[in-house]
Amino acid sequence: MPCEVMAACVQSCCAKSAMIKSVAFDATRSLIHGTGLCQLMVDLSLVDEVWCRIQEEARAVAEEEPLLHKLYDDLVLSHETLESALSANLASKLAVPALLSTSVLRDLFSAVLGNDPEIRRAIRVDLRAARDRDPACDKMVHCFLYYKGFMALQAHRVAHRLWIEGRRSVALLLQSRVSEVFAVDIHPGARIGAGVLLDHATGLVIGETAVVGDDVSFLHGVTLGGTGKEIGDRHPKIGDGVLIGAGTQVLGNVRIGKGAKIGAGSVVLKPVPPRTTAVGNPARLIGGKEKPVRLESRAGLTMDHTSWSACTT
C-alpha cells in the first residue's frame, strides 16, 4: 500500500478518537516524509483497531438507517474510547431507577476499566471472537451494542475485579443485576479468560470457583456448577479452546482439557481429556475411554458441534 494511502487510512480511522489523533498526525508525517519508520511501527501499535472498526461500522449504519442515527451517535460516535462507550452502555442497562443511578454505575465501570489493562485487552479479544466465530455477527458494532452475552461478560469482568479487591457487596450487586437483565448468572469469584464467546447466553450459570481459559465458546443453557456435596474449590475448570454445547451441565471440580468438545445436552461428571469429544448423560468419550477419538483443532475455535475426526498431527 502506498505511504500516502496508508496515512489517509490511519487518519480516517482515528478521526473521532482524541486519544490517538496525535498518533495519526505523527504517522502521516512519518509516512509522507519517510522518517522514523521504526518509531512509526510503535506509534501504529497504539491505534485501537477494534474501536476504530466499531466507529466506522456505526457511521455506516447511521447513514444507511436514519432511524438509528441518534442511537448510534449516543452509544458509539459521541465517545472517544471503547471503554467510555462500554461504561455508558452497561450503566444504562443495569441502573435501578431511584436507587442506583446511571451516572454512578458509569463512573464505577469507567474507573475499573481505566485502571485494568488486562480487562481492556480481554474486551477487544472477546469482540474479535464474536466476529470470527459467530456467523450471525457480521459487524463488531452489533456485538458491542446488542449481544447480551458480550455485555454480561464485560460486566462480570468488572465485578470480578471488585471481588478480588474486597468490594464484594458491589460485585454481588452487579452479578444480581446482570442476572436480572441479561439472564446470565456468573458469580464474581469465577475467573474467565480472554477471547470467550457466550453465544446466545440465556440461562448460562457459572459458579464461584470455576475457572475458564482463553478462546472458550459457550452456547446457551450451560451450567458450570457444583455437585451439592462439596465446599471450597467445587466448580469445573475449563481449558483453553473448549466448546460447550447448548444445555450442557458440567458439575463438580472436574477438568475439561484444552480443545475438548462437550456435546449439547450432556451431563459431565468426570474429567475430559484434551482434544476429545464427550456426549451423553452421563457424558462418555467418543471412541471410548481407552482410545478416544482426537480432534484435529480446538473445538472452541472451529465451533463444529456435530462432527469429530482423528488427529493427524
Q: Classify residue 267 by burial, with Cβ atoms within 10 Å: 0-12, 13-18, 19+.
A: middle
Q: Which three cell numbers stand for residue 203?
A: 440461562
Domain boundaries of the chain, sorted by first residue: 3-47, 53-184, 190-313
Task: Check: CB of residue 168 under 8 Å from CB of residue 188.
Answer: yes
190-313 matches 53-184 in CATH topology:
no
pLDDT tens for the 313 residues of the chain, in order: 444 444 444 455 555 444 444 334 344 444 444 445 444 444 444 569 999 999 999 999 999 999 999 999 999 999 999 999 999 999 999 999 989 999 999 999 999 999 999 999 999 999 999 999 999 999 999 999 999 999 999 999 999 999 999 999 999 999 999 999 999 999 999 999 999 999 999 999 999 999 999 999 999 999 999 998 888 999 999 999 999 999 999 999 999 999 999 999 999 999 999 999 999 999 999 988 888 888 888 888 888 887 765 443 3
**Hey, which CATH number is domain 190-313, 2.160.10.10, 1.10.150.570, 1.10.3720.10, 3.40.50.920?**
2.160.10.10
| CATH no. for 53-184 | 1.10.3130.10
